[in-house]
Chains A and B, each alone.
Chain A
């Protein structure tokens, strides 16, 4: 008995010793089981664990729950080492509060040079590198080729905002719902308003407003007026204020409307949410960029979208950074890109994109001089939600363009 005990203790001690050197990394993500992002993550984790003997704990939270829990989670001892981020204002708040780790020392220049510079920069704050980007996205007008042809509209002729309005009129008179919109979730609506801001105001004006205020400028009021022109045509589906984003995607995938202004993830979502599960099919879908506005200070090639990635919490070990550097590699990103999971940030991985839409988007972003991150992320939790609210109010026709910008200005002032 005593011998057995001794052996047991010895074995236990040995085990503890080996595991004492192994590190456990907690990785919090927002991908549902069937998300196309998961295979890449799982493979990278398996490879990393095998290579280093460290353990990776993957944790999943749903989108809204994640946002709700973030402040408390980052202050608990259970906090994840790695977590998802849309960069922008929310990230800046976290960095300012000291919840992120500066990993500049761990990320080598060699590795950095493999990433697109713009994307990598999005994850810095006041000189500190707090995260690593993973993919980019763009918002554009998705359209249903069949329906658009039925209405006799030629999308290649849509150059200016007025052309878009004309097209909407034409589609409507053909008895087709012009635009699907998820008004209940609000963020799909804010794309319209803010994309017009990008066209009307351009990058310099945005930075000026961000730093010094003045959101009530005429360029931005004009966006509201233009949006109201659209709303006046009654282009949205019945009950659009009660529709959620999955509703919107499903509707588009079911062929119930001609167009939707949405990020490139619409490609997968419209199929997943459709009644048949198949969606519209590649042949029947198209994408065109937000048209220019006459007299706008922005460039028609400017894009609205996201730069998403992974942040490191203040207590993250070096191993966590190494794990991400392993995951965000040309190898993994090429495979994911080929599967149409997302648009990669690692240089050269974009050549693997087979999906024509993602290719188009990748090209747009690469050529864009001004890629604005979604306002509702970039401006932070408070101002961002105000933007969502006023956009939806505009779409519902209950506030004026001046009131909309005034509310944003008020929120901005409150947060100084």
Chain B
């Protein structure tokens, strides 16, 4: 009986927490269906009239899809290169003994210690001097650079967990590092690749400040920049903003659901065993 009470309280606690965490999200999604006036009078409840206008007008607006597409391009571009570069780098740190291994690893960790806001102007000037301003690379390259640190930590941890017998055996057979990397490491790294992907994709997807500074051409706007299209100088249409925000949640949630098994597996796979 004692166990049942405990279980009961545990579930109660979990449900209450879930409710609290979930309510803000629920309110936003519902908010998109209400009029601005109703947002004020009926914040918590279901909309009295399911006003599809906001959602529909956003979905039918070509700009919305354009911004989403741009965000997708930035996210995938960043993630691809982060996966490639970080795994290669972490591979070297995990398996190759050389002088300066530790030093270089710490060098990359510097990236975690630096708030992006400080780098805005220097980064802008660098991108400009390279002639990349106004291209997708202006967003992708800095994102790769800032994402490498954490990705390398995760990859290195995972690679170190791999059984060394595999490595020794392959080496005896005359396998080069590169061959080992492509033939063994990568295929076995699915969980950690997924984890790093989710984190990098999410980071890029949600990045507001960097595209704002780098992109001037409306046709390259990312979706967070689209929020301001719905907020005029003197008027904030809350229901439109909430609808927009709710819609942009959808891809993020889909990523998450698709890859959530891998996140835990990837984190388990050794990253957290550092």
Contacts and interface: CB of A to CB of B under 8 A. Distances in A.
Contacts of B128: 75-76
Given A265-B234, A272-B235, A78 B133 contact: yes
B216 interface: yes
Interface residues of A, number: 35
Given A72-B120, A268-B234, A269-B235, 5 more contacts: A60-B218, A65-B225, A72-B214, A77-B134, A276-B37
Interface string A75-90: 1111110000000000
A32 B235 contact: yes
Tell me the interface secondary structure of chain A in the complex.
loop
* Top 6 A-B pairs, shortest CB-CB distance: A32-B232, A62-B228, A78-B216, A63-B233, A275-B37, A78-B134
A272 B234 contact: yes
Nearest to B208: A65
B228 A246 contact: no
B217 interface: yes
B118 to A, nearest CB: 15
A271 to B, nearest CB: 10
Contact of B228 (A65, A79, A265): A65
A268 B216 CA distance: 30
A63 B234 CA distance: 9
9 contacts: A31-B233, A59-B218, A60-B229, A78-B216, A80-B216, A269-B234, A269-B235, A272-B234, A275-B37
A71 B120 CA distance: 11
A237 to B, nearest CB: 15
Nearest to B233: A63
Interface string B232-245: 11111000000000
Contacts of A80: 216
Contacts of B214: 72
Instruction: State the main secondary structure of chain B at its contact with A.
Output: helix
A79 B232 CA distance: 21
Contacts of A61: 228
B259 to A, nearest CB: 32
B180 to A, nearest CB: 45
A37 B36 CA distance: 23
Contacts of A276: 37
Given A62-B229, A246-B235, A275 B216 contact: no
Interface in A275-320: 275-277
A277 B35 CA distance: 11
A285 B249 CA distance: 43
A34 interface: yes
A14 interface: no
B232 A62 contact: yes
Given A75-B128, A78-B217, A245 B234 contact: yes
A268 to B, nearest CB: 8
A72 B214 CA distance: 8
